[in-house]
Amino acid sequence: MTQPQPLGQGRATRFEVNGLAIAGLSWGDPGHAPLLALHGWLDNAASFACLAPLLQEYHVVALDLTGHGQSDWRSADASYQIWDDLPEVLGVVDALGWGSFNLLGHSRGAIIGAMLASSFPDRVQKLVMLDALSPAPVPAEQFPQQLRKALLEKPALLGRANRVFSSVEAAIDSRCRTGLSRAAAEMLVRRSIRGCQRGLTWTTDPRLHGASAVKLTDGQIQAVLAGLKMPTMLMAAQANARRMPDMVQQARECIPSVLVEEVEGGHHFHMESAAADVAQRILTFLP
């Protein structure tokens, strides 16, 4: 099946929030309705390079979340828990002058988006989540073990170097092995790689591979989802058949006003052959 090519690479954007440089890409007329896009784990703003140009009625701003793409890494004393991105995301929308906005998230970005929307329902007009809803819950009694794991992993990850590649093609091959199409992998890789002494290496912070010190309990996750008072849409990948039924059921049981749709393709369906279909569904939902 023919894979889409990005219709427009987007305009480079950059924000300074809480001492961190937050990079990103934007598409569309700044006078149009605002739409913030948050990417998934180890991805970057180019995750939306196929989808955003098709959302012509919106001013789409896609961020490189901290530690990803061309944004700064957090300081050595900081962490990468899912809620750690929220102050910077709020700082960006404030810098843009967006009192309220639409929110689009993929994977980890969808989970971050849900937490933001639940905490600030007055600011998020509509929420679109692509193939993710919430993190897997961890029972409260397992907190000590989870904390121990995070504390043991952090020192090792602080000193760890990213993998080195001999060429961009080799880096693209490595992302293809995770299930991405070559076209999608290339979009992401070219924004997340830099030169180093021995060749090329990732720009992503190795600490993103570490365990979180705190995991949400089932009750906390239900509270977040119940707090999504705005119209919400979940698009679930048909290829993820094993986890899709549970995710869909959770959305319907916990989110007050939710539209659930199944989309052909895998986890990155918004970057692949379903991109035009996904864009049309979003345009139908958002107005």
Q: Which residues are catalytic?
A: 107
* 66 neighbors 73 (Cβ within 8 angstroms): yes
Q: Which residues have CB under 8 Å from 118's CB, separation 6+?
A: 223, 224, 225, 226, 227, 228
**Distance separating alpha carbons of residues 233 and 248, to the nearest angstrom:** 11
Compute the distance between CA of residue 174 and CA of residue 171 in angstroms, rounded to an integer. Answer: 5
Closest listed residue to residue 40, CA positions, set 158, 184, 221:
184
CA dihedral 13→16→19→20, nearest 10 degrees, is: -10
* Half-sphere exposure at residue 258, Cβ-oriented, CA atoms within 13 angstroms: 22
Partners of 61 in the beta sheet? Answer: 26, 36
Look up tokens 């998020």; give the residue. 124
